[in-house]
Amino acid sequence: MLPSIGIVTAIQARRAILAAGLHDPVEALVEQSDQATQDLWYTAEVIDRQNETVIGLATALGLSSEQLDDLFIAGARL
């Protein structure tokens, strides 16, 4: 059975992003983003797959919906 892809902790999200080799691009994108995006990235305790900011960041990174799902699945396994 696959882990849920709905919500992961912030540390799970960061570890999945690091493992996928996306840390530097994500950090650069967040730094260029608005305050709400920075607040989500730096202070949220959990990250929701359906959050519009998360979807926007993934789109800006060129990730498909399936790739974003895979990141959340990987994060949930950590």
User: pTM of the entire structure?
Assistant: 0.88
Segment 8-54, tens digit of pLDDT? 999 999 999 999 999 999 999 999 999 999 999 999 999 999 999 99
Residue 3 has pLDDT above 90, yes or no: no
Asked if residue 73 lies in contact with residue 2, where contact means CB atoms within 8 angstroms, the answer is yes
Query: Alpha-carbon distance 67 to 32, whole Å?
Result: 22
DSSP state of 69: H
Tell me which residue of 34, 35, 30, 38 sits closest to 60, measured CA to CA: 30
Query: Alpha-carbon distance 41 to 3, whole Å?
Result: 22
- The full set of domain ranges for the chain reads 7-77
The confidence band for 5, taking pLDDT boundaries of 50, 70 and 90, is confident
Give the pLDDT confidence score for residue 48 in this predicted structure: 95
